[in-house]
A = this chain, B = another copy of it.
Amino acid sequence: MAKMVSSRLLQIPESPIRKLVPYATEAIRKGIKVYYFNIGDPDIDTPEIMLEVLTNWKQKTITYSRSHGEPNLLESLKNYYNKLGHTFINIDHLLVTLGGSEAISMAFLATTELGDEIITFEPFYTNYNSYAAVNGIKIVPVRTFAKDGFHLPSRQEIEKKINKKTKALLYCNPNNPTGTVYTKKEVEMLVSIAKKYNLFLIADEVYREFVFDNRQHTSILSYFNKIPNQAILVDSLSKRYSLCGARVGVLCSLNKEIMDGAMRIAQGRLSAGLIDQLMASKLAKVPESYFKKVHREYENRRNVLYKGLLSIPGVSVPNPEGAFYCIVDLPVKDSEDFCKFLLTDFNLNGETIMIAPAAGFYATKGLGNNQVRIAYVLKVEYLKKLIQILKKALPAYNQTLKSRG
């Protein structure tokens, strides 16, 4: 007799960012060079002072860390937030998590009962669906549009979706996957809605530093005093310090019940990684010049990519304001099929690209089918290749479709 696994396991969605990996692996096997623009895994060097924690390693035993987090990392994080101007943050408001992923999952569990709803803005970071499925809740999308640069819709459009099951609003600022940086006015609107309907407001700010064209980032931390028991910050060191493979995130709230409960979850899984945390704890010593250089690099990449994309017939994209992603409209009907084609049936001088079909970033069925997400995490030289490859691949793909009949 076959043993059936749980229905909730079967409901966990496949990652649209990673589901094409087998095709990439196969392309590489055939000798093709694949450039990865599908995932936010930057090629920027990790700060040297962090890598030196590894090369100078002395401790003979890799022991557990504390469930709350390594004390010197907590202290560094506190100082980091204090220096940003949020001087009320102390280590009791912080919990070190296994990446931003765990922080979001904890926030979902803390704020919802089973079957409850969290409102967010589509297209949204696709893994929110995964954490929602694991926690038995529903993501309710409010649509945003390319024509608005994926900025928030009106207050009415958001309020329409609020019902008795709604427990939280969730937003990512700067936004993955759209690159949108919400204005102060937009953040204040969300705070005001949260206040009016007594909802939690969960802000994912892992791209905080990546804002372009002299924009200012408006952090939810500036509104913690307005909604002290409702505001939750999710953070991560992955992008800021090119530490994706070090699983170090942060959950931050003034709500003591949330932090106490999250601490109990943290105790159950014992601790985050010791080495990753000790590495991350050097964040206070990363020179300002590192960020300036990284910021300049990303802004330059953004410029090259944006200009290049607009030079391709039939392609459109709003100018990304931050983070290192954009959602691009392509002249195709089925972008997943196109992304697959890039890996299985196309190459330019033995090279191709991996990009993420955008449908998985929408909760509404049928949306995003002509869009892809591009993560500009590789250097300009490779971004230029991406433009060349797209330029050639799009007509080649549409030709293939015709011949397929």
Give A residues with C-beta under 8 Å from B: 1-10, 12-15, 17-19, 21, 39, 41-46, 50-51, 54-57, 60-67, 98-99, 101-102, 105, 109-114, 116, 127, 129-131, 134, 136, 167, 198, 200, 229-230, 242-247, 255, 257-258, 261-262, 264-265, 267-276, 279
Known: A10-B257, A245-B274, A275-B276. 12 other contacts (CB 8 A): A3-B198, A5-B255, A6-B167, A9-B110, A12-B261, A12-B268, A45-B61, A65-B245, A114-B136, A134-B268, A246-B274, A276-B276
Contacts of A45 in B (CB 8 A): 60-61
Structural contact, A43 and B61, CB atoms closer than 8 A: yes
Contacts of A39 in B (CB 8 A): 64
Structural contact, B9 and A109, CB atoms closer than 8 A: yes
Contacts of A63 in B (CB 8 A): 41, 244-245
Q: In the assembled complex, how far is the CB of residue A41 from the closest CB belonging to chain B, in whole angstroms?
A: 5
| Bound-state Cα–Cα, A105 to B39, Å | 26
Most interface-central of A5, A198, A274 (chain B CB within 10 A): A5
Contacts of A43 in B (CB 8 A): 61
| Bound-state Cα–Cα, A10 to B110, Å | 8
Assuming A64-B244, A255-B3, A275-B54, is B268 touching A8 (CB within 8 A)? no
Structural contact, B273 and A246, CB atoms closer than 8 A: yes
| Bound-state Cα–Cα, A353 to B73, Å | 27
16 contacts between A and B (CB under 8 A): A3-B198, A3-B200, A6-B116, A8-B113, A9-B109, A9-B258, A21-B66, A39-B64, A41-B63, A62-B243, A62-B279, A64-B244, A99-B269, A101-B268, A244-B270, A276-B276
Structural contact, B264 and A62, CB atoms closer than 8 A: no
| Bound-state Cα–Cα, A62 to B129, Å | 26
Q: In the assembled complex, how far is the CB of residue A2 from the closest CB belonging to chain B, in whole angstroms?
A: 6
Contacts of A109 in B (CB 8 A): 6, 8-9, 134
Contacts of A56 in B (CB 8 A): 55
Question: How many copies of this kind of chain does the complex include?
Answer: 2
Structural contact, A229 and B134, CB atoms closer than 8 A: no
Structural contact, B264 and A130, CB atoms closer than 8 A: yes
| Bound-state Cα–Cα, A63 to B258, Å | 31
| Bound-state Cα–Cα, A273 to B230, Å | 31
Contacts of A111 in B (CB 8 A): 5-6
Structural contact, B257 and A9, CB atoms closer than 8 A: yes
Structural contact, A57 and B60, CB atoms closer than 8 A: no
| Bound-state Cα–Cα, A19 to B4, Å | 38
Structural contact, B113 and A6, CB atoms closer than 8 A: yes
Q: In the assembled complex, how far is the CB of residue A335 from the closest CB belonging to chain B, in whole angstroms?
A: 19
Contacts of A261 in B (CB 8 A): 5, 9-10, 12
Most interface-central of A9, A105, A111, A279 (chain B CB within 10 A): A9
Contacts of A8 in B (CB 8 A): 109, 113-114
Contacts of A64 in B (CB 8 A): 39, 41, 244-245
Assuming A98-B98, A275-B275, is B267 touching A6 (CB within 8 A)? no
| Bound-state Cα–Cα, A112 to B3, Å | 12
Structural contact, A15 and B62, CB atoms closer than 8 A: no
| Bound-state Cα–Cα, A9 to B42, Å | 35
| Bound-state Cα–Cα, A131 to B62, Å | 24
Contacts of A274 in B (CB 8 A): 245-246
Task: Name A231's closest neighbour in chain B (CB-CB).
Answer: B3
Q: In the assembled complex, how far is the CB of residue A228 from the closest CB belonging to chain B, in whole angstroms?
A: 9
Q: In the assembled complex, how far is the CB of residue A226 from the closest CB belonging to chain B, in whole angstroms?
A: 13
Structural contact, A247 and B247, CB atoms closer than 8 A: yes
The 9 closest A-B pairs by CB, nearest first: A130-B268, A245-B274, A15-B267, A9-B261, A54-B57, A3-B229, A101-B269, A62-B245, A12-B264
Structural contact, B257 and A273, CB atoms closer than 8 A: no
Structural contact, A98 and B269, CB atoms closer than 8 A: yes
Q: In the assembled complex, how far is the CB of residue A261 from the closest CB belonging to chain B, in whole angstroms?
A: 4
